[in-house]
Amino acid sequence: MAFKKFSILINLFVSYFLPFFLLMTSLSLAQDDHESICQSTIDPSYCKNMLANQNGNNNNIYDYGRFSFQKSISQTQKFLTLVNSYLQNTNTLSQPTIGALQDCSFLSQQSLEYLSNTFTTINQTSNSDNLLPSSQAEDFQTILSAVVTNQQTCLEGLSQTSFDQDLKNELSSSLSNDTKLHSVSLALFNKAWVPSKKTLTSWPKNKHNFNFHNGNLPLKMSKKAQEIYDHAKNKHGRKLLQNNADGGGDDGGVLVSDIVVVSQDGSGNFTNINDAIRAAPNNSVASDGYFFIFVSEGVYEEYVSIDKTKKYLMMVGEGINQTIITGSHNVVDNFTTFNSATFAVVGQGFVAVNITFRNTAGPSKHQAVALRSGSDLSIFYSCSFEGYQDTLYTHSLRQFYRECDIYGTVDFIFGNAAVVFQDCNIYPRLPIKGQFNAITAQGRTDPNQNTGTSIQNAIVKPADDLAPNVGSVQTYLGRPWKQYSRTVFMESSIDGFINSAGWHEWSGDFALSTLYYAEFNNTGNGCDTSNRVTWPGFHVIVNSTDAAAFTVSNFLSGDNWIPQAGVPYLSGLNN
């Protein structure tokens, strides 16, 4: 009898109470506590205060995320309006101030577009099917990382100028608060919509090693492009490009939609590079193929800018130190670091081959950029970057450099892109008296950003002017420009002129516990890590799986987009 009563009670629980219990549990789980959600952000107090203003009683992480994005969009628009209002009346402003405000306007417009595109997508996802496909989630995480970077770049530009203090304080205060807000949006996006990290692979995978040296590409061209190609080939008396018009081979060649030639002697379509860029179609997509710009031998003294509408351009020169693009803008002469670049590219999918990018301002002019890239999925192959301080500005988004030469002194590879340098030659030069060389200055400001600098299979040795003076100049692998600076040297040859400590602090103990600096399987007289810095954030990687996180395949998902350009690359680690 007792067993029968017990059985009845069990049936009642299963039939009535258990479903109610499960329902209440699921509701409790759906109603996320914003205080616990905010622990994944870098400023939990700010996050809690901001989310406390969200209306409704059934908020979960998806509601909080959408709310945060709406505020980010609104604040970015307000800041952009404020900046543009100052640019309406520039009579009382100095040229450096105008330049800084123009940078801020450009960057804010870009951020507004990034935020709006992300919000449109997440606003269409249901809470029951919230995770985005891995590739799409990575795309959005990348552009949201760039939003935070854009804010920092604007703030730095303003800090380099001297103008009305009240105006400066107003803009800086707004930027500081907006950066916190964008950081929350990034953190909530990662927590709510990004799938679990993919499994990292550590084995070597060498893919798409086309014969691309000296401008040889497997091309698949239209009839019109073929005619222009033939003309260029005959004009220059040698095979500039490896024609694959029939799309032969397993990879079908590199698809080219059109070809134009830049030649200073008037024999091409254009005599300067900017005119050729203007001729490119707007807003091409990857499937359209590349608009191909061949730049013949010569020194091009022009400041080149490729805006967001000029996508999937491929620019090929006749070789390093043969096709040279040069300028001399610098901060001493009243340019911001951002707009000092000789060559600046934003348009997605840009590819450059066989070109020297140069800034001739010299070491005494301090920050002077040869090339700045904020081009997502951009590739630089067999190029040279020449300058002194701040030579190569890998500003944001995803970038790949292969078999390039990079020259400079202070922080000469810097920025906050997700970038891999592979098989490159890195040449520290002779700085001005009293300076030391720092090869890298990585600019990650938020641990939720998927950014960092990975240097693989590089050769690090002194440039010709530094070689006789290595005893009097200290050279380091890098220093932490920002709080969460992340840089890895792996499988590289490091010459003995590198200081045995390896790395240099930025200012006191700033970032030493939050940075991530690492070395893995390097060789050469400068690779010994026994006397390296003892900072909490420095690591000697011994596990190949840990190192594999910074390979082309894992760090950039490069297998998905590099093959289109036909350039050689190594997906993983060496044998």
Which tokens in the block code for residue 332?
A: 């001493």
Query: CA 503 to CA 498: how far, in whole Å?
Result: 9
What would the two tokens of residue 272 be? 């300067």
Give me the long-range contacts of 318-321 (CB less than 8 A, separation at least 24): 318/215, 318/236, 318/240, 318/354, 319/214, 319/215, 319/354, 319/382, 320/354, 320/355, 320/356, 320/382, 320/383, 320/384, 320/405, 321/356, 321/384
Per-position b or e across 304-328, b if 16+ CB within 10 A of its CB = bbbebebbbbbbbbbbbeebbbbbb
For residue 315, list its beta bridge partners. 293, 352
Q: Distance between CA 455 and CA 461 in Å, rounded? A: 14
What does the DSSP assignment read for 207-220?
A: E-----GGG---EE
Report the alpha-carbon distance of residue 295 to residue 276 in Å, rounded: 9
Per-residue b/e over 369-382, b at no fewer than 16 CB within 10 Å? bbbbbbbbbbbbbb
Q: Over the range 238-270, which residues count as b (16 or more CB within 10 Å of their CB) and which as e?
A: eebbbbbeeeeeebebbbbbbbbbbbeeeebbb
411 annotated active-site = yes
**Helix (H, G, I), strand (E, B), or coil: what is residue 270?**
strand
Distance between CA atoms of 186 and 196, rounded to whole angstroms?
16
* 240 CB-near residues (< 8 Å, 6+ apart): 215, 229, 232, 233, 294, 316, 318
Please, what sign has the CA dihedral across residues 433, 438, 444, 445?
negative
Q: Which helix (H) or strand (E) holds 537?
A: none
- Tell me the C-alpha distance between 432 and 379, whole Å: 32
How far is C-alpha 484 from the geometric centre of its chain's CA atoms?
15
- In Å, what is the CA distance from 53 to each residue of 19, 71, 94, 180, 288? 33, 11, 40, 16, 46
Provide CB contacts within 8 A for 227, sequence distance 6+: none
Annotated catalytic residue: which of 178, 411, 423, 495? 411
Q: Which residues are catalytic?
A: 411
